[in-house]
Structure 1
Amino acid sequence: MEAVILILALLFVAFVALGVFVSVKAVKAAKRGVDRTISQARRAVEDTTLRARSIGQLGVPGELAQLRVRLRTSMKATQDALHAGAAEDASLSESIALFERLSVHGRELDDDLRQMERDPDRARVAERLAGLRERTERITRSADSLRWAARDRARKFAEDDLSSLSEQIDVESGALRHWSTVEESAAAHEASAAPGQWPSEGRTDAERGAAEAIEPPVPHRNVYPWQKPARQARPETSN
């Protein structure tokens, strides 16, 4: 009896521990989901604000906003293209690793651009604008190169697969139309018959029999009611 009670107590403790573990995991997953949603919403608001600044502001502030928009757009497009292609092409893992290293420089540049936007010393910011513009060009050029290389690779694979598929379809279509080859062979055989011979000459019994089998029957002559039967000849009588 004591052993049964002990086993039940252990089972109860195990179920309670499992419930606590599952609850903690669910809470953490929900928290990660909420944090991800908040980050995406914050990023969307910031991107919209940057685009508005790049269009509405002039001078150094407007150019800084344009640089940030260009940097973010290029990096986001490359990230999406690489991760989408990696699901079908494992060789893109090296490209993703290179992009992660490039992303470090991209985030540092984005932080520098953000600080320049808030810096009140516009003269000093204008002096550093050329360097910031050059860094943005180098990073976006590298990101664009990775993105277009991944797209070209995917398009090349698609073209090769389409070519192979077209060849297989041509072979299968020829196999499905095998009767046309037989008919062409028969026509060639008929054309090669000697001049002056009827088509039936020079053929096997099976071929002649097949041709005779498909000849139409002699039409039956109908006898109508108004037609009189032919008068039979009367037998001659002897005197």
Structure 2
Amino acid sequence: MVRLLSGIAVAVALAGSPTTAIDGDWFSSTAQSIVRENASRDLPGVASNRIDDLKIGDPVTVEQESYQVAPILLDGTPVGTIATDFAGTEVITNDEYFADTVAAMPRDGRIVVFTELGGAEDLGGWFLRVDGLVSPLDPVARSVLAGPVGEDDFETIRESFGTSAAAGTGDSEPGKEQAGSRRIVLYLGVVVGVLAAVTVVLAVRRRRRNAREGQAHDRATPPGNGGRIATISEETVRENE
């Protein structure tokens, strides 16, 4: 992942032209040049003789931010992403899952950037919001969220990190310590949830097994004598009678 400064991006951000047209031009020209110049370092899976074949896919806007992100394509296959805030910061990743998601965005999907995460080398954590769930897209997002959560839970997590950011910036020691503590709490919450689910499943299976064993025992027990098998002493008593 790399942070790049671009005077062209700043000029684009300051110009008052229509956003869609400018963004499309920027990604098809400037972004492509940036990717090819840094591919040997930021896209290690791309052979050096294929760098000039890298293309930029359609950009996707970000919810509540001026950011945009686009997939990096090689022969039509997503191999990474490039994102920008149009204020001088561009970030390249070689995360194929992130790239696949951006290249095939769900119709009702939205990209969310968690700006409280990360540091000076990125724009934050990137998430996908779709069907009432929020999922992590990039390594920064996955550092605090192991899998999909509901939107309400995500907003709670986001607000908690916002409180940490107010107490100290993401690059300061207090900010890092608080963010790390909240990540640990989140991971513990996920672990506790998984253990609880496993406990419930085991309990249900145990009850079903006990029920089956009880039914089998009832079928194997002869009727009469209160369900008990007669002993020798009982048979002897009956003969004496």
Taking structure 1 as the reference length, the TM-score comes to 0.37
- Give 1 or 2: higher strand fraction: 2
Taking structure 2 as the reference length, the TM-score comes to 0.37
- Give 1 or 2: higher helix fraction: 1
Select the structure with the greater relative contact order (CA < 8 A; seq sep ≥ 6).
1
Whose radius of gyration is greater, 1 or 2? 1
